Amino acid sequence: MPPKARITKEMILNTALDLTRQSGFETVNARSVAGRLQCSTRPIFTCYENMEELKREFLAFAYEFYQQYVADFRKSVKVSPCLVLPLSYIGFAREETQLFKLLFISDMNLKMANARDFYEEIDNEKRAEEFAGLIGVDTERAKVVFLDLFLYAHGMAVLTATNKMALEQSDAKKLLANVVTALIRQEKPDWDAEMLRVR
Q: Is the pLDDT of residue 2 over 50?
A: no
Whether the pLDDT of residue 198 is over 70: the answer is: no
Q: At the fourth CATH level, which superfamily is domain 1-62?
A: Homeodomain-like (1.10.10.60)
Enter the pTM of the model. 0.90
pLDDT, residue 92, reads 97
Q: Are 145 and 182 in contact (CB under 8 A)?
A: no
pLDDT at 157: 96
What is the pLDDT at residue 199?
52
36-45, 52-61, 64-73, 99-108: segment of lowest average pLDDT: 99-108
Q: Which of 80, 85, 74 is nearest to 181 (CA)?
A: 80
CA distances 12 to 7, 102, 176, Å, are: 7, 18, 38
Mean of pLDDT values over 133-141: 91
Say yes or no to pLDDT of 103 above 60: yes
Average pLDDT across the chain, whole number: 90
User: Would the pLDDT of 132 be above 70?
Assistant: yes
Cβ-based neighbours of 132, under 8 Å, separated by 6 or more:
138, 139, 141, 142, 143, 146
Non-local CB neighbours of 106 within 8 Å, separated by 6+ positions: 25
Least confident segment among 43-47, 65-69, 105-109, 183-187: 105-109
Supply the pLDDT for residue 3: 47
